[in-house]
A and B are shown apart, each in its own frame.
Chain A
Amino acid sequence: EAGVVQSPRYKIIEKKQPVAFWCNPISGHNTLYWYLQNLGQGPELLIRYENEEAVDDSQLPKDRFSAERLKGVDSTLKIQPAELGDSAVYLCASSLGVDSTDTQYFGPGTRLTVL
């Protein structure tokens, strides 16, 4: 069974440019998560989707970040405009149900460098 797929794996942009990350969760997984991982830190949740509904976006900086999960399958996370401090790894994860007990499975991440 295929795992969580993310693209691109690496992205280098100049500040003030827009950038988008794509995630395809494990087939059949209803819940999708976007995490931010800074260097030397653990992942921190940005947004959680249950099917197509964003049920927790309290940590998403909404002035420049947006996300969507159309049709409740794959998802896109966008930053516009990017700032130097956005350089990090953006991880996508998915879990089977909508219960907090479900294990989250992670993709390989997108490493963003903002120059």
Chain B
Amino acid sequence: AQKVTQAQTEISVVEKEDVTLDCVYETRDTTYYLFWYKQPPSGELVFLIRRNSFDEQNEISGRYSWNFQKSTSSFNFTITASQVVDSAVYFCALNFIGGSNYKLTFGKGTLLTVNP
């Protein structure tokens, strides 16, 4: 069975602070994909990144960076110099590769509030 744990229910920071959102996953599969989605108050889940289990290189996209560590089953997300527009619920998700009965498993999400 697959499981995604986002231990931080809510985080509050002041604008321009750096913030890291934690994601720990469990899976028996050796090949899988990990995702991060952002859900602003408007409700739509916005795709941020997809990372496969073979690629442990960290990735940076503007103020966003992701740290994938297979040894600790973690896929953490860091926002540098946070902005008010970053306020949203962030979801980490897992999907195994292959087979016909795949399912995207989400964590419970972390509510990030960036205060001006």
Please list the residues of chain A having a beta carbon within 8 angstroms of any beta carbon in chain B. Answer: 3, 9, 33, 40-45, 55-56, 89, 91, 93, 100-101, 103-109, 111
Contacts and interface: CB of A to CB of B under 8 A. Distances in A.
Contacts of B93: 42
Given A106-B44, A109-B44, A42 B97 contact: no
Interface in B19-39: 33, 35, 37
Contact of A100 (B45, B98, B107, B109): B98
A56 B103 contact: yes
Given A42-B91, A42-B93, A42-B109, A104 B104 contact: yes
B83 interface: no
Contact of B43 (A89, A103, A104): A89
Contacts of A3: 44
Contacts of A56: 101, 103
Task: State the main secondary structure of chain A at its contact with B.
Answer: loop
A108 B97 contact: no
Contacts, number: 56
A42 B106 contact: yes
Contact of B47 (A40, A91, A103, A111): A103
Nearest to A41: B108
Interface of B: 4, 33, 35, 37, 42-47, 50, 52, 91, 93, 95-104, 106-109
B37 A106 contact: yes
Given A55-B100, A105-B47, 20 more contacts: A40-B108, A40-B109, A41-B108, A42-B93, A42-B109, A44-B106, A89-B43, A93-B45, A100-B97, A100-B98, A100-B102, A101-B52, A101-B95, A103-B35, A103-B47, A106-B37, A108-B43, A108-B44, A109-B44, A111-B43
A109 B44 CA distance: 6
Contacts of A103: 35, 47, 50
22 contacts: A40-B108, A40-B109, A41-B108, A41-B109, A42-B4, A42-B91, A42-B93, A42-B106, A42-B108, A43-B106, A44-B106, A45-B104, A55-B100, A89-B43, A91-B45, A100-B96, A104-B47, A105-B47, A106-B37, A106-B44, A108-B43, A108-B44
